[in-house]
Amino acid sequence: MTVRRIDEFTIALEGVCPVADAEALRQHLVSAKSAKIDLGACERAHTAVVQVILASEREVDGGAGSLFFEKFLELRASYSETRPQAARQQEKLRMREPFALPEV
């Protein structure tokens, strides 16, 4: 399984996460209400998985190994820390630097 609930506080994604992981991740997030998402070992994830991460508005760890996550989620995470929940709901994710998405 590429999605694992490590404990009450951490859900980890590993390797390449296929589309089916989206539902698994969602269920873990629903059951572990305060868990953050650890992307340290995740190389790439299907858009459906990315969408669940975005929708959850949870804190995200790691992702440094993947340019994609770095760009998409780091910023998401920084917003989560500084913005109140209500404002975040409307907030758009943005990137200011030129960047390249991972090769596929």
Partner 1 sequence: MSEFIDQFILESRELVETATRDLLALEQDPTDPQKLDSVFRAFHTLKGGAAIVDFSAMARAMHAAEDVLAVARSRSRPLTPTRVGECLECLDQVVQWLDTMQVSKALPDGAEAVADAIEARMAAEPESPKSGPAPDDWLHDLLEKHAAARLEAGCAFRYAPDRDCFFRGEDPVVLLGTLGDFLAIEVEPASPWPALDALDPFACNLVFTALTKKAATDVAAAFASVRRQVEIVPVGEAAEADAASSGLTPSAREVLRAQIRLLAVADAPGARGRVASAARTATNVLHHVGLPEHAARLEGETDPARLTAALEHMLGGEPARNAGKAAPVPASRDLAPRTLRVDTERVDRLVDLTGELIIAKNAIGHTTKLAQDSGSPFAAALKNQHTQLDNLIVELQKSVLRLRVLPLRHVFQRFPRLIREMSVKMGRPVNFATEGDDTEADKVIVEALYEPLLHVLRNAMDHGVEPTEQRTALGKAATATISLRGSRQGENVVVEVEDDGRGVDLVKVREKAVERGVASADALASYSDTEAIELIFSPGFSTASDISDISGRGVGMDAARTAIEAVGGRISIESRKNHGSVVRFVLPFSVMMTRVMTVAVGDQMFGIPLEAVVETVRAARETIFPIGGSHAFVLRNRTVPVIDLAETLDYRADRRASATATLLIISIAGQFGAIEVDRLGERMDVMLKPMDGILSGTPGLAGATLLGDGKVLLILDVQELLL
- Contact region with partner 1 (CB under 8 A), list: 3-11, 35-43, 78-86, 92-100: 92-100
As measured in angstroms, the least distance from the Cβ of 23 to partner 1 is 5
Dist. CA 62–CA 72, nearest whole Å: 12
As measured in angstroms, the least distance from the Cβ of 75 to partner 1 is 10
CB within 8 A of 84, min separation 6: which ones?
none
Does residue 101 bind partner 1 (CB under 8 A)?
Answer: yes
Helix (H, G, I), strand (E, B) or coil at 16: strand
Dist. CA 93–CA 63, nearest whole Å: 16
Residues near partner 1, by CB under 8 A? 19, 22-23, 25-26, 29-30, 45-52, 54-57, 68, 72, 89-90, 92-96, 98-104
